[in-house]
Amino acid sequence: MKTTIINSLLIGGSLLSASLLTGASAAGSSPKEDKNLKKPNILWIVADDLGTDLGCYGNQSVKTENLDRLAGEGILFSNCHTVTAVCSPSRSGLITGMYPVSINCHQHRTRKEAMKKLPKGIKTITEYFEEAGYYTFNGSCEKPGKPGKEDYNFITDYEIYDGVDWCERKEGQPFFGQIQIHKPHRPFRRDTACPVDPSGLQVPPYWPDHTLIRQDMAFYLETVQLVDREVGKILERLKKDGLEKNTIVFFVGDQGSPMVRHKQFLYDGGTNTPLIVRFPKKEHAKEVREELISNIDLAATALQLAGIKIPAYMQGQNFLGAHEPRTEVFSMRDRRDESVDRIRAVRTGRFKYIRNYYPEMPYAQYNAYKRNQYPCLPLMEVLKEANRLSPVQLQFLSDSRPEEELYDLSADPYEIYNLAEDASYRGIKQELKEKLEQWLEECDRATYPEDQREIDYWKKQMAKMDSIWKVKKRLPLAPTNQEYVSWWEKKFESLFKSQESK
């Protein structure tokens, strides 16, 4: 494929010239050897299960100096939303620039035997980069020299990446690469060097203000701090290898935080993730942009930065350079592990409309992973039995849910006051409903219901995992909610005592 080199790029009304995109190297060579390289390197650093819980996003309870510095040297996007709030469909959209429901990648997860190839004509963006002369890689931060997490919900008859690290490319060859950071995915990890005080945290109103929840929040934030240190190491190595001055760095999460009502659901806690972009000479430093970004837009933007034509079929769009900002973003939930569901949502700058296709089912239907990994969930069940939850907290544990939800995000950022039946918002609801229906008609090409054999398979698999987790916790085969809570309380008590003794 013949490619063109970017001569200039219009970003936010200012001009980024090609001279700003020069100077990358093969690993181990000096910056002087890299001045003839014209194409920019593009690096995606992807964190697993990360909400906007960073200092640069306003959270003062967490110390993220490396990411704060990166944001100070680049552009911080406050409204980046993932197309779904679980890894495999989200990552499938990230690497193709397509909605998961458009390419049969929307269920989480799919057996290898049942996975399908991408629809004819649709490629992973690595193919376009390789055709343009780029070296592509996907590496693990925690396991250097090993492949990073892919978790794509499709199969290919080719290797999606050339390798696992930029040092493997030919001398002078530009790269498009990803480095995966598995944190802050559960299980959380303590930051013993900089512990977070649970008592100083702000608990969202949809969770009870309880010691166990505060401790879980603190462990999550400490794990976020460990993510920050990993990012610092990556950026330092980039500089040491003489690559900083010709590499455009993206930092993003694959979805929101791994918490009750966040992960797997379509509220902002599940879809809103950090997005920071730093240019080689730190152009546009300290910019904060509030425009709506979908994570499928990263594919188109990366191609554009490399001077590669964006495929006409791609649903993501370039958000740098001359572009028309999105007026809304769309998100989706389908089967998650063994939990069968279908939810669709559209979000504008101010409002969110959610459609539940199974209103007769509870939000908190049984899910083995969440039951065993989320201390908040059994705790809320215990408190519900004791009549100690507020009406807002009871919503997520209700036996059914409304067909429609509508939230005014400017007045209700926690999305707890459903306005769908409020007559004064009838016009807004109808407008968003029509936007969603149009998007569904154009983009939702999936088949419903899913093949029952696939559902049955995952029910059996997750039942096996359920038993394994219980054995590891030394719990009965049918533990009560209180037994789960007691296990978590003992675990957290031991962790905090070990910290206090140091």
Contact 195, 215 (CB under 8 A): no
Domains of the chain: 41-501 (3.40.720.10)
pTM of the model: 0.91
DSSP letter at 10?
E
Residue with tokens 């690469």: 177
Starting at the edge strand that comes first in sequence, how are the strands of the sheet with 404-408 ordered?
A: 329-333, 343-347, 351-356, 404-408
Q: Give pLDDT, residue 47.
A: 98
- Which amino acid makes up residue 20? L
**Mean pLDDT per segment of 10 residues, for the chain of length 502 residues?**
29 31 33 55 98 98 98 98 97 98 93 90 98 98 95 95 98 97 97 96 98 97 98 98 97 98 98 98 95 98 98 97 94 96 98 98 96 97 98 98 98 98 98 98 92 94 96 95 97 78 54
CA distances from 170 to 145, 302, 398 (A): 17, 21, 58
> CA angle 298-299-302, nearest 5°?
80
- Reading phi first (left if > 0) and then psi (alpha if -120 to 50, else beta), residue 337 is in left
Q: Using one digit for the tens of pLDDT, what is the confidence trace for 130-170?
A: 999 999 999 999 999 999 999 999 999 999 999 999 999 99
Q: Give pLDDT, residue 501.
A: 54
Quick count: other Cβ atoms within 10 Å of Cβ 312?
6
Q: Give pLDDT, residue 500.
A: 58
User: Distance between CA 218 and CA 213 in Å, rounded?
Assistant: 9
183-220: burial string, b at 16+ Cβ within 10 Å, e else: bbbbebebbeeebbebeebeebebbbebebbbbbbbbb
Q: How many residues does the chain have?
A: 502
Return the H-helix or E-strand segment holding 490. helix 481-500
User: Distance between CA 254 and CA 247 in Å, rounded?
Assistant: 21
User: Distance between CA 413 and CA 347 in Å, rounded?
Assistant: 12
Q: Give pLDDT, residue 55.
A: 98
β-partners of residue 71 are none
